[in-house]
Amino acid sequence: MTAFAFQTQATDGKARAGRLETAHGPIETPVFMPVGTAGTVKAMLPSSVKATGASIILGNTYHLMLRPGAERVEALGGLHKFMNWPGPILTDSGGFQVMSLSGLRKMTEEGVTFASHIDGHKVMLTPESSTQIQRQLDATITMAFDECTEWPAPKDKVAESMRLSMRWAGRSRSAFRAREGYGQFGIVQGGTFEDLRHESVQALTDIGFEGYAIGGLAVGEGQEEMFGVLDYAASALPADKPRYLMGVGMPSDLVGAVQRGVDMFDCVAPTRSGRNGQAFTRRGTVNLRNARHRDDPRSLDEACACPACTDYSRAYFHHLIKAKEILGAMLITWHNLHYYQELMQKMRAAILTGGLDDFAAHFHAEQAGGDIPPL
């Protein structure tokens, strides 16, 4: 079996190009992970996801434990076999989803008791049970169970939440069964308070994980404040371990975070936008619902080689969306994921040649130019 190991191949400022070896195949970084919350990347076949250039996807403990159930997935050969994705899978611990239930949950030192959003039955999720469920799913990368601190919150509440997450991180680590090629990531919390973030990093590195995530961002604080946290939080993490920014983000977020030393990302933006008729292009976001596209014969992005751009027109996408045809969601999602993967590949190539800042300047200039209107 392959050892779970990360190697930095090049640096450009704080940015890193690396390679993460896992039991389910290698991952070249920086990398974007399409979100397959309930065992599927919405509107995409696994072969289509792979065709976009994706090497790893994300699943979710909360959703999969409720339906179809971790025991059932395990009995059927694990999540890789169940959803026909042989490559690496990272599973979110479920903490974020449970915390978002607000009044439907009760949190104690032991864990969180909540009502299922499916049928209302009571369930308890703890660091130990979250870790066990992720093992039953056969996650390549298991996430420690944590509380995603709400924003905004006073510093004393953020500190209390972060320290609870650090105690839960220790319990998650104790429950994790080491296997060749598999890893577990701890999650840095602390809101936008630098001293709390450093305290969290110290606590997690004292425990020791195969990788580290930065949580509690992209929750309403805005890009400038998020980048302010990343300016110190990413480089505070061990240089020989992968760094994962959870739930981020928009294309400009990815570029700025890579420049600050982040290696891994996930976000629902490309798939959710695809289902809502929004496409990400090198000239910014295009809303294909707009009437201006109904007679437009041009491709979505003439520089893009995905099937949506090479085979179909903007007018056709507009028609599919207005007619509420499933094919529209499928094609635009495919394009968005292709765009995200190509963006990551271009940044990796730029880091390898020492040209990331030039790439970033070109990226921002193109995005500021806006979509070209039809003739």
Q: Flag whether 371 is in a domain.
A: no
Tell me the CB-side half-sphere exposure of residue 151, using CA atoms within 13 A: 17
| 62 shares its domain with 207 | yes
| 37 shares its domain with 117 | yes
Q: Flag whether 154 is in a domain.
A: yes
d(CA 282, CA 259) in angstroms, rounded, equals 18
| Last-in-domain residue among 242, 267, 292 | 267
CATH code for the domain of 142: 3.20.20.105
| Last-in-domain residue among 211, 241, 267 | 267
Q: Among all residues, which ones are annotated catalytic? A: 92, 266
> Could you give the angle at which helices 251-259 and 223-236 cross, rounded to 10 degrees?
30
Domains: count for the chain: 2
For the stretch 30-51, pLDDT in tens is: 999 999 999 999 999 999 999 9
Give yes or no for a contact between 263 and 240, defined as CB atoms under 8 angstroms apart. Answer: no
d(CA 149, CA 168) in angstroms, rounded, equals 14
| 76 shares its domain with 160 | yes
d(CA 53, CA 322) in angstroms, rounded, equals 29
| 234 shares its domain with 306 | no
Strands (E), 144-204: 183-188
SS3 203: helix
Q: Is residue 102 predicted with pLDDT exceeding 70?
A: no
Peptide bond into 249 cis (omega under 30): yes
> What does the longest C-alpha to C-alpha distance in the chain come to?
63
For the stretch 307-339, pLDDT in tens is: 999 999 999 999 999 999 999 999 999 999 999
SS3 303: coil
Range of the domain at 356: 274-364
Q: Is residue 214 predicted with pLDDT exceeding 70?
A: yes
105: left (phi over 0), alpha (psi -120 to 50) or beta: beta
Q: Is residue 345 predicted with pLDDT exceeding 90?
A: yes
| 149 shares its domain with 99 | yes
Q: Is residue 103 predicted with pLDDT exceeding 70?
A: no
| 96 shares its domain with 199 | yes
Mean pLDDT taken over the chain: 96
pLDDT band at 149 (very low <50, low <70, confident <90, very high): confident
| 159 shares its domain with 36 | yes
Residue with tokens 């110290």: 202
| Last-in-domain residue among 240, 267, 294 | 267
| 224 shares its domain with 292 | no
Q: Taking the model in full, what pTM does it have?
A: 0.97
